[in-house]
Amino acid sequence: MGWAGVAWRDAEYELAVVDGASVSGRTFGGGEIGQLVEALHGCAGVVVDSTSGVLDGHLTAAGLAVFRADPWLLPDRPSFGSAAALALARRGAAGDLPRLTVASGALVGRHEEYASQVARCGPVERELAGRFLARGAVPGTAALTFDDGPDPRFTPQVLDILREHGVRASFFCVGINATAHPDLVARIAAEGHLVGNHTWSHPYLPDLTRDELLRQVDATNAALSTATGGAGDLVRPPYGGRTPDVLRWLAGHGMTTVLWDVDAGDWAAPGVATIADRVTGAVGDGSVVLLHDGGGDRTQTVAALPGILRTLLDRAYTFVTVDHYRSR
């Protein structure tokens, strides 16, 4: 098979494959990522754009050769969608795109840009203190957060472990996943956990216009509200990607940006012991811990979680949801 491009439109994924002069395509529902992955096996390469972070972790975990095409290499996007699947496939066939792996993550080749953008945010983060949170200030507490779900394979396992240990956590859900699995979002809320906004398609926010960003947030809030009866005002930027403009746009829209101070790095599948050690070795009073219940193979996260909970409970930590830190 030739080169494939995978796009998202609203709550669906579009696949186009270019093989010489032949072009073929299919559409998949938001809950059909497994079927999409199966359809991609045998392709020379799979191309996504920087608005499609909801996909690359699944594709790389399946052993596919995945590449990212950045906005300056592609035609204009629609207001609520990625670059077209056919344009992505053709750009992949042209070559010279960064390859994504489980270990590298989605931002390979853009880390210096990312670091520069984040460095410029310090003054704005202080300016928006009431609309920006990276750590709490309550002794003896910590907040576990889970990103990129809900996922029908891993979210129920995470919820079962949390319930077994009597721990509440915060789940930052991707809108397209929440629309596909509203029952899981409802379960998260019903079991006393916080449900937050992780955008619709997990894009790199600095690549979006203000209107594109706010539409991502609003669509996700609508999906969360449908599942739970209401949506809050907490949003987590994918990858923590931000600029001063992004932070101001979110705050001006009534949203509070939530980051973290402890990153387990579980998205890179470094091993169960490494994930556990990174969390238990770094947590302090008021820490916000970043973990994942979706976006790829989270088997290691699930395996590490009981040990993390036992260790921190033995140290007399109380687990809180991140909103506990907002007024303190």
Catalytic residue flag (residue 202): no
Q: Determine the 3-state secondary structure of 203 from DSSP.
A: coil
Written as six digits, the tokens of 55 are 């996909």
Q: Residues in the chain, how many?
A: 328
Q: Which residue among 58, 198, 202, 292 is the active-site one?
A: 292
**Cα–Cα distance list, 106 to 68, 178, 295 (Å):** 8, 21, 11
Catalytic residue flag (residue 292): yes
CA angle 240, 168, 218 (to 5 degrees): 45
Q: Which residue among 49, 56, 147, 297 is the active-site one?
A: 147
Please give the DSSP secondary-structure letter assigned to residue 81. B
Q: How far apart are CA 70 and CA 178, in angstroms?
A: 26
Environment class of 24 (CB within 10 Å of its CB; exposed 0-12, middle 13-18, buried 19+): middle
Torsions phi, psi for 186 (to 5 deg): -65, -40
- Residues that are catalytic: 147, 292
